[in-house]
C-alpha cells in the first residue's frame, strides 16, 4: 500500500448519472471532487443502446455517449475522474472527522465527505444468449426501453410485483406481452394480479422458464421450457424483459451504513444524508422505486448540495 495518504474534500464513488451530476455540482461549489468510476464506467446506462427519455436530448442519444457527455461536463468544471475500485472503507461516526478509503487495495485516501453513487445491478438469469443480447433486445427496464417495442410482441420474465408492473406497462405499448412465471402462481400482490386480469393482450405462462434467447445480433425469439413436463416451445418475440429484481451495490458498506432489508441505503427525510456524518447516498443505491437516469441525476445534485452545506457547518 502507498505510504502517503491523499486528503480530499469530496470523494464520489460511482460514475453513473448520480455520480456525474454530483461531480458537476460539487465542482462548481469548489469542493474539488475526486471520482472513482468502479469497474463499469458510466454505470447501468452503458448497457442501454438508445436513451430517449433524458431531458436535453430531443433526438435521443446512445447510453454510452450520454455518459461520456456527463463525464466531459464534470471534468470541464474540475472533477478528477479516476478509473479504480473502492475496496475498503473506514467511515468515522464523528462529525468533522475524515473518512478513510482504500482504492484497489493499494491507495489510501482521507475524504471529508463521501457521495456513494454505486448504483444497483439488475438481476439476470445468467444465460449466455441473454447476456450476449443485452442492449440488442434484452432489457431489465421496461420504462427505459419499452418505447422501442411499440406494436411488437415481447416477453417478461418474473412473477412478482415488479414483473407485473413491467408487463402491464408494456401491454399499453406492445401488440402482445407474455409473462414467464416459473411457479404455478404469481408472487405478486392481489392488487397487481387484478391488473393482469384486466389486460387483454397479456398472457401468463405458469411453470415456464426461459431456456434460450434466439438471435445473433438482435432478439428474434425465445425458447421456453415447462419445468413440470419438460416440454419446450419457441415464441416469436423481439424483446425480452427480465424483471426478477435488482441488487444495490452496497456490500462494501454493510454493517456500517444503515440499509433496508434488501440492501438499499436509507437516507434521512428528503435529504441524501446517511447515518454517518459527511456521507451521502444518491441514485439507485438508495432508490428502489423509480430507478431512472433522471431521478438518479436529481439525487446526485442533492448529494453535492448536502455535502457543500455539511462542509460549511464545519468551517
Residue 174 known to be catalytic: no
Helix (H, G, I), strand (E, B) or coil at 235: strand
CA distances (Å), origin 259, targets 66, 119, 248, 266: 30, 14, 10, 5
Q: Which is catalytic among the residues 144, 211, 284, 287?
A: 144
Kindly provide the b/e burial profile for residues 168-180, where b requires at least 16 CB atoms within 10 angstroms of the residue's own CB. bbbbebbebbbbb
Beta-carbon contacts of residue 196 (< 8 Å; ≥ 6 apart) = 164, 167, 168, 179, 186, 202, 204
Residue 211 known to be catalytic: no
Q: Which is catalytic among the residues 10, 104, 141, 306?
A: 141
Residue 161 known to be catalytic: no
Q: Contacts from 70-77 at CB under 8 Å and sequence distance 24+? A: 70/17, 70/20, 70/21, 70/24, 71/15, 71/20, 71/42, 73/20, 73/24, 74/20, 74/23, 74/24, 74/27, 74/35, 77/23, 77/24, 77/27, 77/28
Burial class of residue 183, CB neighbours in 10 A (0-12, 13-18, 19+): exposed
Q: Which is catalytic among the residues 10, 145, 284, 287?
A: 145
* Catalytically active residues, by annotation: 141, 144-145
Amino acid at each position: 500500500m502507498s505510504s502517503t495518504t491523499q486528503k480530499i474534500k469530496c470523494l464520489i464513488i460511482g460514475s453513473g448519472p448520480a455520480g456525474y451530476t454530483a461531480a458537476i455540482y460539487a465542482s462548481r461549489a469548489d469542493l474539488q471532487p475526486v471520482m472513482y468510476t468502479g469497474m463499469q464506467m458510466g454505470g447501468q446506462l452503458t448497457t442501454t443502446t438508445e436513451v430517449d427519455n433524458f431531458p436535453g436530448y430531443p433526438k435521443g442519444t446512445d447510453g454510452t455517449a450520454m455518459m461520456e457527455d456527463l463525464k466531459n461536463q464534470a471534468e470541464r468544471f474540475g472533477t478528477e475522474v479516476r478509473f479504480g475500485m473502492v475496496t475498503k472503507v473506514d467511515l468515522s461516526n464523528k462529525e468533522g472527522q475524515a473518512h478513510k478509503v482504500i482504492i484497489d487495495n493499494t491507495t489510501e485516501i482521507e475524504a471529508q465527505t463521501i457521495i456513494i453513487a454505486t448504483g444497483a445491478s439488475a438481476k439476470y438469469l445468467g444465460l449466455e444468449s441473454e447476456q450476449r443480447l443485452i442492449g440488442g433486445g434484452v432489457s431489465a427496464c421496461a420504462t427505459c426501453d419499452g418505447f422501442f417495442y411499440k406494436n411488437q410482441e415481447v416477453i417478461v420474465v418474473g412473477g412478482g410485483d415488479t414483473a407485473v408492473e413491467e408487463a402491464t406497462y408494456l401491454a399499453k405499448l406492445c401488440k402482445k406481452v407474455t409473462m414467464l412465471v416459473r411457479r404455478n402462481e404469481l408472487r405478486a400482490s392481489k392488487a397487481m394480479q387484478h391488473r393482469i386480469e384486466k389486460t387483454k393482450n397479456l398472457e401468463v405462462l405458469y411453470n415456464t422458464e426461459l431456456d434460450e434467447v434466439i438471435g445473433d445480433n438482435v432478439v428474434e425469439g425465445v425458447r421456453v421450457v415447462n419445468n413440470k413436463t419438460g416440454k419446450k416451445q419457441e415464441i416469436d418475440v423481439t424483446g425480452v424483459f427480465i424483471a426478477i429484481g435488482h441488487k444495490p451495490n452496497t456490500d462494501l458498506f454493510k454493517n456500517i451504513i444503515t440499509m433496508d432489508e434488501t440492501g438499499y441505503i436509507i437516507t434521512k427525510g428528503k435529504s441524501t444524508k446517511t447515518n454517518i456524518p459527511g456521507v451521502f447516498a444518491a441514485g439507485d443505491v438508495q432508490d428502489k422505486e423509480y430507478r431512472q437516469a433522471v431521478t438518479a441525476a436529481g439525487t446526485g445534485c442533492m448529494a453535492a448540495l448536502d455535502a457543500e452545506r455539511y462542509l460549511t457547518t464545519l468551517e
